[in-house]
Structure 1
Amino acid sequence: MTKSESPGKKSVVLTFDDGPSRLLPKFLDVLKQENVPAIFFWQTRLLHSKRPWQRVLDEGHIIGSHTVKHRNLVELTQEEQYEDIKSSIAAIEQITGSNVRFFRPPYGQFNADTLEVTDRLNVTPVMWKIASMDWELKNDPEQLIANVAENLEDGAVILLHELPQTLEALPALIAAIKERGYGFKLL
């Protein structure tokens, strides 16, 4: 899935990979201030009970799986993929008490085995339509914003990461998206 279809107002989906990071509370502050929902795809090796996962859910966001350790799934057997994704989902569900419905493969890399595994585990793979390239733009928040704003289309899923440069650019990014007539929604 790279787009979300819905009639009416043009909207996009913000997604954040590679958390939960220490910056998560600050990301949540910006999203709350702007009244923007998001989906967080987490590596469960980073998830522990002291991360503000409850706040994520209480504020209407979604937590999805991004595997346990961010290994490239195409380098794993189907059984290894199954164990990794299943373990990640189980950890999120055990800590949060909520069902995991969405999964994003690390590096956007997947194969037929991955699709069989996600089908068996009843999670929807979510890719992206727009990559912010935030992981490469530590010193260029304007380019990060342009990468998204210049490629907007209705229903697009936007790839972001829980990185300092993304946090710095997030308020201006949200403003640029709104200025182009888009709202925000979840899948």
Structure 2
Amino acid sequence: MKIFYIKKQKLRLLITILVLAIFAIIFYNIYYKNSEETFKEDIYYKGNIDEKVIAFACNVDWGNEYIPEMLSIFEKEDIKITFFVTGKWAEKNEKLLKNIYSYKHEIGNHGYAHADYGKLNYDDNLREIKKCHEVLNNILNMECKYFAPPAGSFNDNTIKAAEELNYDIIMWSIDTIDWREDSTQDKIINRVLTQAENSAIVLMHPTKETIKALPVIIQTLKEEGYDIVKVGQVIK
């Protein structure tokens, strides 16, 4: 009888463990897996519109001397793009930021400081994104809804913080790598034109070589039937 009782107790324990395991799997699928899928829906490496449109995204934390000429090129070509600016840069360059906005370009959040957001905890991610949001709102009286993490570095904390602040995270599908010293006009042109596709997001910065490359890139894309637009115009 004693042996039977021990076996019965072990059987109950095994059943309990099995039931708990099943509940854990169900909970994971309902909560964590769905949360991950929701987060992924808020990260865009390219747009989701199957049309011949390409978005230009210019990240700004430096390069002030090249921005006026960049604006002149876009104005001449009747193009509006998205400028992702850091809060620190915006505070120091209010006049230039207002000038960019006056041309009807879209303004995005690039974080307050040009930090490695992939190494920050949730609270720090939330603070940096929110602080930039407030700076831009105070200067331009507008609400940003797109966040481009510096260097494309983010983690789960960044995703959760962005979601908390109603931001979509914007990455890119074409990287000009124009910030690197060996990136010449021809290399930048080649990187963009060989990877052009519907709803692509082209990452660039205000640099001398970018300014030289833009007229050729714009002309060629237009000849191929592409419209060059803001990030918000390639995302439904």
Greater shift after overlay, 89-98 or 177-186? 177-186
For 1:38, which of 67, 71, 81 is the aligned residue?
81
TM-score, normalised via structure 2 length: 0.74
What's the counterpart of residue 125 of structure 1?
A: 169
For 1:108, which of 141, 152, 159 is the aligned residue?
152
Is residue 67 of structure 2 the alignment partner of residue 17 of structure 1? no
Percent same amino acid among aligned pairs? 24
Is residue 150 of structure 2 the alignment partner of residue 90 of structure 1? no
Deviation at 1:22, TM superposition (A): 3.2
Residues 108-147 of structure 1: CA distance to partner in whole angstroms, max 9, x if unpaired?
0111111100011111111101101111255620110000
TM-score, normalised via structure 1 length: 0.92
Q: Which of structure 1's runs of 4+ aligned residues deviate more than 6 A? A: none
For 1:184, which of 228, 231, 234 is the aligned residue?
228
Deviation at 1:59, TM superposition (A): 2.0
Instruction: Give unpaired runs (5+ residues) of structure 1.
Output: none
Greater shift after overlay, 11-20 or 148-157? 11-20
What is the DSSP-based 3-state SS (H/G/I as helix, E as strand, rest coil) of the residue aligned with 2:65?
coil
Distance in 2 between the 1:114 and 1:88 partners?
14
Indicate if the aligned counterparts of 2:119 and 2:154 stay in contact, CA closer than 8 A: no
Counting matched residue pairs gives: 186
Instruction: Give unpaired runs (5+ residues) of structure 2.
Output: 1-43
Greater shift after overlay, 153-162 or 50-59? 50-59
> What does 1:35-184 align with in structure 2 at a 5 Å threshold?
35-48=78-91, 50-136=94-180, 140-184=184-228
Deviation at 1:176, TM superposition (A): 2.1
The amino acid of 2:80's aligned partner reads P
Distance in 1 between the 2:165 and 2:103 partners?
26
The amino acid of 1:17's aligned partner reads N
CA RMSD of aligned residues (A): 1.7
- In structure 2, do the counterparts of structure 1 residues 159 and 11 end up closer, same or farther at CA, with 3 Å as the change threshold? same
Larger relative CO (CA 8 A, sep 6+): 1 or 2? 1
Deviation at 1:45, TM superposition (A): 1.1
